[in-house]
Amino acid sequence: MRILFMILGFVFLGLGSIGIVLPILPTTPFLMLSAFCFSKSSKKLHDWFLSTKLYKNYLDSFVNNRAMTVKIKASIITSATIMLGICFFIMKNVPVARMIIAFVWICHILYFVLRVNTIKSYDRY
């Protein structure tokens, strides 16, 4: 199982890294999954990931303070809106699915606006 978690950690790390430059792919959820998988696979890998600039820029503030910058919040909301919009468009003949997608989108927006604090910038060490 440790090897599987290690492989998944690197897969999610790759997807999260691609998400930095590709706006339709979310970065933060993949990096969170990567951190989880590394924590299950190896303490050394987990410690390495926590020390990377990628982790510090995208997850550290959220993990420690449940807070993100406006830029990261906007990126997450935009990518989720695009992905859910595509699903909404594809499901044009399935009204129930469209209602569920709309509900998920509204909950997503409300979560990031009301539950995740906004900070001006990250503290750089």
Structure confidence by residue, pLDDT tens digits, 33-78: 999 999 999 999 999 999 998 888 878 877 888 788 888 888 788 8
Cα-based distances in Å from 45 to 6, 19, 23, 101: 8, 21, 27, 36
The runs of H, that is alpha helices, within 59-94 are: 60-65, 70-90
Strands 67-69 and 117-119: parallel
Q: Hey, how many other C-beta atoms are within 10 angstroms of the C-beta on 2?
A: 11
Among the listed residues 89, 111, 106, the one whose alpha carbon sits nearest the alpha carbon of residue 98: 89
Model pTM greater than 0.85?
no
Q: What is the predicted pLDDT for the residue at 122? A: 53
Q: How far from 124 is each of 52, 91, 121, CA to CA, in Å?
A: 13, 44, 9
pLDDT at 125 over 50: no
| pLDDT reading at 82 higher than 90 | no
In sequence order, what are the beta bridge partners of 117?
Answer: 67
